[in-house]
């Protein structure tokens, strides 16, 4: 190759680039591979879709149980309303209906606040706090000594107890694919569907044999 051709060859950008690529040794990168494996392991434990079958169904039964408590509680106290009126000297039928009516109002209003909170902070923390408050408000209802306090505590219990019936569908959707949700939804729907009937049966027996204060007391224990 002549000096002129060599100079032209050296000035060619493509030839310079090709030489640089050929001379550059590939450096194996190990850290990204390790990071990828770590992320995969972490996501499998945090993603509910990746949980084992027994863990998914354990959570389904827990959520279904919590979703059953509120519908049961809605009619449980209604059976003993005459005993409540007698102890608190309530003669107005409208006032007598308020403990049950405001509890149902709480069940309807609560999801407006609890559902967005569950999307912001996670469903688990909302379940735990709402269930704890539900038990405390029912315990207060079992110990209260006036009608006004009983009515207020019933409203608050309804607000706190609305987490189970309102968040269960989203919880099941977090764990199961579309093809797998049917069975889980059937188990979860049992409580909201049959809870009021169960509450009436249980409430009648408890009210007759133990007194009306055990009606919210049983809900606090459960």
* Contact predicate 77/200, CB 8 Å: no
Whether pTM exceeds 0.85: no
- Token pair for 188: 């979860």
pLDDT tens track, the chain, 222 positions: 555 544 444 555 544 444 444 545 555 544 444 444 434 444 556 788 899 999 999 999 999 998 999 999 988 888 888 899 999 999 888 899 999 999 999 999 999 999 999 999 999 999 999 999 999 999 999 999 999 999 999 999 999 999 988 999 899 999 998 888 888 999 999 888 888 888 888 988 998 889 899 999 999 987
* CATH topology for the 52-221 domain: Growth Hormone; Chain: A; (1.20.1250)
Distance linking the first and last C-alpha atoms of the chain: 94
DSSP state of 80: T
DSSP code string of 109-166: HTHHHHHHHHHHH-HHHHHHHHHHHHHHHHHHHHH--SHHHHHHHHHHHHHHHTHHHH
Domain residue ranges in the chain = 3-41, 52-221
């Amino acid at each position: 190759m002549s000096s002129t051709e060599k100079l032209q060859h050296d000035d060619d950008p493509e030839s310079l680039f090709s030489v640089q690529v050929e001379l550059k040794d590939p450096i194996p990168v190990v850290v990204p591979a390790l990071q990828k494996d770590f992320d995969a392991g972490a996501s499998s434990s945090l993603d509910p879709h990746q949980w084992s079958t027994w863990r998914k169904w354990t959570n389904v039964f827990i959520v279904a149980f919590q979703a059953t408590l509120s519908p049961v509680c809605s009619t449980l106290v209604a059976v003993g309303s005459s005993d409540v009126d007698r102890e608190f000297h309530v003669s107005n039928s409208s006032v007598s209906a308020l403990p049950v009516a405001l509890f149902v109002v709480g069940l309807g209003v609560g999801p407006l606040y609890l559902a967005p909170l569950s999307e912001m902070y996670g469903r688990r923390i909302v379940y735990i706090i709402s269930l704890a408050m539900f038990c405390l408000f029912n315990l207060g209802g079992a110990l209260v000594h006036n009608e006004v306090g009983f009515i207020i505590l019933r409203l608050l219990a309804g607000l706190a107890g609305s987490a189970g019936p309102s968040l269960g569908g989203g919880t099941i959707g977090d764990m199961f694919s579309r093809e797998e949700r049917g069975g889980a939804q059937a188990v979860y729907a049992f409580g909201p569907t049959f809870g009021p009937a169960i509450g009436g049966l249980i409430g009648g027996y408890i009210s007759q044999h133990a007194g009306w204060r055990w009606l919210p007391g049983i809900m606090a224990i459960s």
